[in-house]
Amino acid sequence: MPAATAAASTARYDIDGFLKAIGDVPVTTDMQRVRLRSRDYFWYSPVLNKLLRGKSADVVATPRNEADVIAVAAACARLRIPLTPRGAATGNYGQAVPLEGGVLLDLTNMTAIEWQKPGVIRCEPGLKMNDLDAATRPQGWELRMHPSTKRMATIGGFVGGGSGGVGSVNYGGLREPGNILCARVITLEEKPRAIELRTDAAQKINRAYGTTGIITALEMPLAPAWPWIDVIVAFDDFFDALQLGSDVALADGIIKKLITPMIWPIPQHFNAVRAHCPDGKHVIFAMIAEQSLESFKAILGNRGTITYEQPHDDAPGKEPLYEYTWNHTTLQALKVDKDITYLQTIFPPESNVTALIASHEMFGEEVMAHAEFQRRLGRTNCSSLQVVRYTGDERLWEIVRQMETLGIRLSNPHSYILEDKGARVPSADMQLAFKHESDPHGLLNPGKMSRWTAA
Amino acid sequence: MPAATAAASTARYDIDGFLKAIGDVPVTTDMQRVRLRSRDYFWYSPVLNKLLRGKSADVVATPRNEADVIAVAAACARLRIPLTPRGAATGNYGQAVPLEGGVLLDLTNMTAIEWQKPGVIRCEPGLKMNDLDAATRPQGWELRMHPSTKRMATIGGFVGGGSGGVGSVNYGGLREPGNILCARVITLEEKPRAIELRTDAAQKINRAYGTTGIITALEMPLAPAWPWIDVIVAFDDFFDALQLGSDVALADGIIKKLITPMIWPIPQHFNAVRAHCPDGKHVIFAMIAEQSLESFKAILGNRGTITYEQPHDDAPGKEPLYEYTWNHTTLQALKVDKDITYLQTIFPPESNVTALIASHEMFGEEVMAHAEFQRRLGRTNCSSLQVVRYTGDERLWEIVRQMETLGIRLSNPHSYILEDKGARVPSADMQLAFKHESDPHGLLNPGKMSRWTAA
């Protein structure tokens, strides 16, 4: 459980000196707007909501380019002002919330595409993922994976604060080798340096919440942009839904991007697609390549009924199914029921389905099963973002303890501490070591990396 | 071990009646040419060589189109003449060798492409896989997988007699759902029918050696045609080679098509690329997408040395690395050493590397380790085509028995019997059941499906 370590965010810093030092870099000092932009989607968690709701930066800087970033970083280092980078701030763990005030570095105006070649793009961090895909799709490419917030979120925010999502059923998460080709970062020093972190070195900044450097460019590998079909399948028996999900996830000849089983009553709140989610039925939301749809149906057989089948489209005004999956599942429930929260857990690889069923039998509708099939360390696995009826912190942690007896491990979504996310040890060690080099004064998003704060 | 069940191939059939019945379908009756075309590459196996070397059809028919196939099938059914279909006959198990004479149906002149759409092709069975890829690559597509004989072999022969190969590290074998979209077959009846076997129904003819129908069209799913790089890596320690192979196979973010570790002295016979295989070093031959090459090198680290790195090219006159892998590995050794044979085995999924090392320690250079990483039932696994110093059948089966104590299962390459290949039971049952429908007189490639022959 996270400790409330953050100090009050008062104007302890020389903000005037900062503003003078950065020249014409665009800033906002209007406190109402600064406070608003200091928030992310931590309010999904009643635990984080208590800890983070009052936190704010003192000023927001909005760099236009890398030179602006360098000016801001140099000023912060010299004046010892904390700096917290953010993209669209769609994360759920307070990744982009400044615990100790200071400067919020909003990178959403840095959206340039540096170059594209077949299967690779290099761009600035503020590029929205939907704009990125729109730019690459004419050449037949798209991002390998994206969060359910793709239509709002930036690529830099995803790499800095995210882990995987739609597409991870093929490629695993961003941590897997090959899923980030290069990250260019600016250090937080009096004389900031630009460092190109190629291949596995990019793990120094991947999901480090901006504690180890400011991303100014990313080189991302792309995937073939298949014509995807959004499919909803309804099931009488939740076990059949899980088993189909597992069968399809393990079928390497079937091209898919999303396999999301959800137990009834989760779909009751799915307004726009509610008509395709029959009362009392469990569902799978899936994205299947057109090429593989017939084979998908052959695997399905008569275990369930397809209630929805439409070409995928996430242009404005459209309803892509992925906005009912990953942590959007929780959001759809939260929109109508404020007593809802969630957990995030990883299942034992060879007994996904059994563990999910056991968990359902243990908790019933208090913990509503929602699984996301994905690859992890070269194996098909599922993680779960269970929708939980929240009755207090004590009960929440009791649920977690009981799940552990089933081999289900928590990746704690109710903590803003990096190390509570079950980060793989090699990455966490790399990040801690790199921070000594990139942020010697410990000014980058302070309070998030517990081992640094402790030392 | 296979029993020598085949009767002598004398002219027991009404070949004159057959020739009259089929009208202008092109045929060969010249016995020297008929005998030559009745052979496949079974001679890799000293066991099969003894059993099959005298076998021959009585006549070769070479249909130009499906109407010709129907004419031949009808005549064979009426006159009760066995019919054995073949493509390029590059198989190693006597798949295309007629055990009881009769008609050899050479489909290599049926090469038309019916249509292409993004990610799918429909074509006749005699199309060579290299010609297929040449036709789809301008649109950015290629076959998902192919055997090492791609430059000679036909797509129909692959589906009828093969199982997987280069590309199976991503998609598994042809047996995996989604890897064959449709097979059109002609039945062996007095009034032959055309049946479209879609999705999993295509397993009725996949690797059935033509015992269950004559393929006249195939609808195959395609894969993105990445710019592949052929890479050779040399290692001091064979364990490092295997471990790298496993690491890359499990790295879902790294796009690859081939990962083949081979122990020294296997590479000593690799003429054209011998200069890149240092004396005494173990090697990995790999195909890596250009996009992923840097990440591949990061995973390699300093465990081995890259000795060769060239854009993949399998146009005529070029030396694609895959022609040193899969069963071409055995061929390269056989070219210079007639006392060589091979085994084909499947490793226990979660202990690939351990089992391979244990096998090496058990047999030393008598059984030279050669592994092919691939996906199987949704998991990364490896199979092996070990190169074996042959000293007699008795010793060969003794080796097999000892391997079984390590959890290594044989997929017997020294048998022409379908059921000895470790076919998955559901497929074998489907094929047996379908044969009652498609070949009621038991004339298609007789002697290969042991449960039919027994009944």
Q: What is the pLDDT of residues B358-371, one digit of tens each?
A: 999 999 999 999 99
Question: Band of the pLDDT at A4, cuts 50, 70, 90?
Answer: very low
Read off the tokens for A62. Answer: 């909005």
- The CA distance from A404 to the nearest CA of chain B, in Å, is 24
Read off the tokens for A60. Answer: 């927001």
Question: Band of the pLDDT at B1, cuts 50, 70, 90?
Answer: very low
> Phi/psi at B441 (nearest 5 deg)?
-90, 0
Question: Band of the pLDDT at A224, cuts 50, 70, 90?
Answer: very high
Q: What is the mean pLDDT of chain A?
A: 94
Is pLDDT above 80 for A2? no
- With an 8 Å Cβ cutoff, the interface of chain B facing chain A consists of 118-120, 140, 144, 170-172, 176-179, 181, 198-200, 221-222, 224, 226-227, 249-255, 289-292, 294-299, 375, 377-380
More confident residue, A404 or B453: A404
Q: Which residues of A touch B251 (CB under 8 A)?
A: 176-178, 378
In this complex, the residue of A181, A199, A251 whose CB is nearest that of residue B176 is A251
- The predicted model scores a pTM of 0.94
Residue B306: strand pairing partners: B233
Q: How many CA atoms lie within 13 A of A340 on its CB side?
A: 21
Interface test with B, best of A170, A295, A353, A424 (most B CBs within 10 A): A295
pLDDT at residue A271, as a whole number: 86
Q: How far apart are CA B345 and CA B365, in angstroms?
A: 17
**B294 to A255: CB separation less than 8 angstroms, yes or no:** no
pLDDT at residue A8, as a whole number: 40
> Phi/psi at A272 (nearest 5 deg)?
-65, -25
pLDDT at residue B114, as a whole number: 98
Q: How far is CA A64 from CA A96, A210, B249, in A?
A: 19, 18, 41
**B253 to A221: CB separation less than 8 angstroms, yes or no:** yes
User: What pLDDT, in 10s, does the model give residues A14-40?
Assistant: 999 999 999 999 999 999 999 999 999
Region label for B71, one of left (φ > 0), alpha (ψ between -120 and 50) or beta (otherwise): alpha
Residue of A nearest to B375 (CA): A252
Q: How far apart are CA B367 and CA B384, in angstroms?
A: 11
SS3 (DSSP) at A439: coil
**B252 to A172: CB separation less than 8 angstroms, yes or no:** yes
| Greatest extent of chain A over all pairs of C-alpha atoms, in Å | 69
pLDDT at residue B6, as a whole number: 38
**A221 to B140: CB separation less than 8 angstroms, yes or no:** no
Asked if residues A69 and A367 have their Cβ atoms less than 8 Å apart, the reply is: no
pLDDT at residue A422, as a whole number: 63
pLDDT at residue A304, as a whole number: 98
Q: What is the mean pLDDT of chain B?
A: 94
Q: Which residues of A touch B249 (CB under 8 A)?
A: 378
Q: What is the mean pLDDT of residues A345-367?
A: 91
pLDDT at residue A426, as a whole number: 77
**A176 to B299: CB separation less than 8 angstroms, yes or no:** no
Ranges assigned E (strand) in B109-191: 113-117, 120-123, 141-143, 182-186
Q: Which residues of A touch B254 (CB under 8 A)?
A: 177-178
**A253 to B227: CB separation less than 8 angstroms, yes or no:** no
Residue pairs spanning A and B at CB distance below 8 A: 115
Which of A407-411, B147-151, B448-452 has maximum average pLDDT? B147-151
In this complex, the residue of A119, A198, A294 whose CB is nearest that of residue B199 is A294
Q: How far apart are CA A156 and CA A454, in angstroms?
A: 27
Q: What is the mean pLDDT of residues B225-250?
A: 97
pLDDT at residue A423, as a whole number: 55
Is pLDDT above 80 for B3? no
Residue of B nearest to A176 (CA): B253
Beta strand pairing call for A83-86 and A103-106: parallel
* Single-letter residue type at B116: Q
- The CA distance from B143 to the nearest CA of chain A, in Å, is 12
| Greatest extent of chain B over all pairs of C-alpha atoms, in Å | 69
In this complex, the residue of B251, B298, B378 whose CB is nearest that of residue A251 is B378
pLDDT at residue A405, as a whole number: 94
Q: What is the mean pLDDT of residues A311-333?
A: 94
pLDDT at residue B86, as a whole number: 98
Is pLDDT above 80 for B148? yes
Q: What is the mean pLDDT of residues B325-354?
A: 90
In this complex, the residue of B221, B249, B298 whose CB is nearest that of residue A200 is B298
Q: What is the mean pLDDT of residues B227-231?
A: 98
User: What pLDDT, in 10s, does the model give residues A166-200?
Assistant: 999 999 999 999 999 999 999 999 999 999 999 99
Question: Band of the pLDDT at B182, cuts 50, 70, 90?
Answer: very high
Q: Which residues of B touch A172 (CB under 8 A)?
A: 252-253
Share of chain B above pLDDT 70, in %: 96
Q: Is the ipTM of this complex over 0.90?
A: yes
Q: What is the mean pLDDT of residues B98-112?
A: 98
**A251 to B144: CB separation less than 8 angstroms, yes or no:** no
Is pLDDT above 90 for B352? no
Is pLDDT above 70 for B436? yes
* Single-letter residue type at A140: G
Q: How many CB atoms lie within 10 A of CB B111?
A: 17
pLDDT at residue A124, as a whole number: 98
Considering only CA atoms, which of A292, A186, A215, A205 is closest in space to residue A248? Answer: A292
In this complex, the residue of B140, B177, B250 whose CB is nearest that of residue A378 is B250
pLDDT at residue B427, as a whole number: 85
SS3 (DSSP) at B9: coil
User: What pLDDT, in 10s, does the model give residues B31-49?
Assistant: 999 999 999 999 999 999 9
pLDDT at residue B351, as a whole number: 85
Is pLDDT above 80 for B152? yes
Read off the tokens for A13. Answer: 């810093």
The residue written with tokens 């039945």 in the block is B187
Share of chain B above pLDDT 90, in %: 89
Is pLDDT above 90 for B348? no
Is pLDDT above 90 for A453? no
- The CA distance from B133 to the nearest CA of chain A, in Å, is 18
User: What pLDDT, in 10s, does the model give residues A120-152?
Assistant: 999 999 999 999 999 999 999 999 999 999 999
Torsion, CA A156, CA A159, CA A160, CA A166, rounded to 10: 110
Q: How far apart are CA A299 and CA A293, in angstroms?
A: 10
Beta strand pairing call for A340-342 and B409-410: unpaired
Q: What is the mean pLDDT of residues A345-359?
A: 89
User: What pLDDT, in 10s, does the model give residues B387-407?
Assistant: 999 999 999 999 999 999 999
